């Protein structure tokens, strides 16, 4: 008669469950969701303090440009000579809706309101100039890089004509010719002219960047496979080449946006860029140069906003560059 121990013994032929150990769990491969270039870049960007800080600052500037009434209820063009060159009222800084936080200029205009409304012109010029350069330069870069041959040579020499002209000098010549200081152009006309000037002088740089990116992308295996399957050139460009060649353009466009904001301020300071009735940081800095000793705050506040805005876009461009280039990680 068998004992209970023998009766309940496990047969050697039956499989025995092995408990999972921490070591075994580490050996087992983890299943991660596959991410593309842009989703992987977004995953990396969210972890970078540089991107978070710059994104917050840029969001504030965009809100200032789109909805200045949220920050100030004062008309920036209203003049009150009784308040000419009044100093900043630091007690009003923490009172929303109060006037005189940053003082008043020589015409008695509220500097705080003008700084808030000045963000619109500066950011509009930068954004539309970059978008125009990306569209025009990207088009010529794609055509030049994908077709090659005499088309590439012709477009490259045509772009060199504009690259040979210094940016600031070229802008001075164009703006002084089509919008002289003696004339009184409307706000829309002078703003559009500044944007078109930046596009005319800046598109060759974007075209070169897109051309180099297209040349490297069209040599990849999936592009050759699409060509072997008989796909049309337009489909290959828009479905395979362009999405993978846009990363350098996005990086350069983000950094250039900050540079264009600074260029607009420089031209406005020299008197050939934006001008009244437009309100911009460059105009405010130019108007304050004769009052540096009695009222330095007239220049200090718009200059501070200008520096922070340019620095924010440069930091954003650096963060995007690091996220889109795996070699830099």
pLDDT digits (tens, 9 = 90+) for 172-231: 989 888 876 656 677 888 899 999 999 999 999 999 999 999 988 888 888 888 888 888
Using CA atoms, how far apart are residues 10 and 15, in angstroms rounded to an integer? 9
Query: Cis (ω within 30 of 0) for the bond into 277?
Result: yes
pLDDT value for 198: 95
How is 4-35 classified by DSSP, letter by letter? HHHHTPPPTTS--PPPP-HHHHHHSPP-----
pLDDT value for 245: 85
Q: Which residue has the tokens 């978070």?
A: 52
Using CA atoms, how far apart are residues 301 and 225, in angstroms rounded to an integer? 57
Domain boundaries, the chain: 37-74+114-328
Q: Which CATH architecture has domain 37-74+114-328?
A: Orthogonal Bundle (1.10)
pLDDT value for 4: 46
8 Å CB contact between 81 and 105: no
Model pTM? 0.81
pLDDT digits (tens, 9 = 90+) for 64-82: 999 998 888 888 888 888 8
Using CA atoms, how far apart are residues 67 and 111, in angstroms rounded to an integer? 17
Using CA atoms, how far apart are residues 16 and 19, in angstroms rounded to an integer? 10
One pLDDT digit (tens) per residue for the chain, 329 residues: 444 444 444 444 444 444 444 444 444 444 445 566 667 777 778 888 888 999 999 999 999 999 998 888 888 888 888 888 888 877 666 665 566 688 889 888 999 999 999 999 999 999 999 999 999 999 999 999 888 889 889 998 998 888 888 898 899 989 888 876 656 677 888 899 999 999 999 999 999 999 999 988 888 888 888 888 888 888 888 888 888 888 889 889 999 999 999 999 999 988 888 888 889 999 999 888 888 888 888 999 999 999 999 999 999 988 888 887 655 55
Q: Considering only CA atoms, give the Rg of the chain.
A: 29
């Amino acid at each position: 008669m068998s004992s209970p121990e023998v009766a309940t013994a496990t047969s050697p032929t039956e499989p025995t469950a092995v408990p999972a150990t921490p070591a075994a769990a580490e050996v087992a491969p983890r299943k991660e969701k596959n991410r593309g270039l842009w989703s992987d870049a977004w995953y990396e960007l969210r972890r970078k303090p540089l991107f978070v800080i710059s994104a917050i600052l840029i969001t504030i500037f965009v809100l200032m440009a789109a909805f200045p009434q949220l920050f100030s209820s004062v008309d920036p063009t209203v003049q009150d000579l009784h308040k000419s060159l009044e100093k900043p009222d630091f007690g009003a800084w923490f009172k929303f809706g109060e006037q005189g936080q940053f003082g008043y200029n020589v015409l008695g205009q509220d500097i705080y309101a003008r700084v808030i409304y000045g963000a619109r012109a500066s950011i509009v010029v930068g954004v539309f100039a970059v978008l125009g350069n990306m569209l025009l330069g990207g088009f010529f870069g794609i055509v030049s890089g994908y077709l090659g041959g005499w088309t590439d040579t012709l477009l490259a020499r045509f772009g060199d004509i504009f690259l040979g002209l210094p940016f600031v000098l070229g802008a001075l010549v164009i703006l002084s010719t089509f919008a002289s200081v003696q004339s009184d152009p409307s706000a829309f006309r002078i703003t559009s002219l500044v944007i078109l000037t930046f596009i005319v002088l800046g598109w060759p740089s974007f075209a070169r960047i897109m051309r180099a990116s297209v040349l490297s992308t069209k040599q990849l295996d999936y592009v050759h496979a699409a060509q072997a399957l008989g796909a049309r050139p337009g489909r290959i460009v828009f479905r395979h080449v362009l999405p993978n060649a846009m990363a350098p353009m996005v990086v350069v466009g983000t950094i250039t946006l900050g540079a264009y904001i600074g260029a607009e301020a420089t031209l406005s300071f020299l008197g050939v860029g934006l001008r009244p009735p437009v309100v911009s940081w460059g105009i405010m800095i130019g108007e304050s140069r004769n009052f540096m000793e009695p009222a330095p705050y007239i220049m200090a506040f718009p200059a501070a906003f200008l520096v922070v805005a340019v620095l924010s876009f440069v930091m954003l461009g650096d963060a995007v560059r690091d996220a889109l280039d795996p070699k830099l990680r």
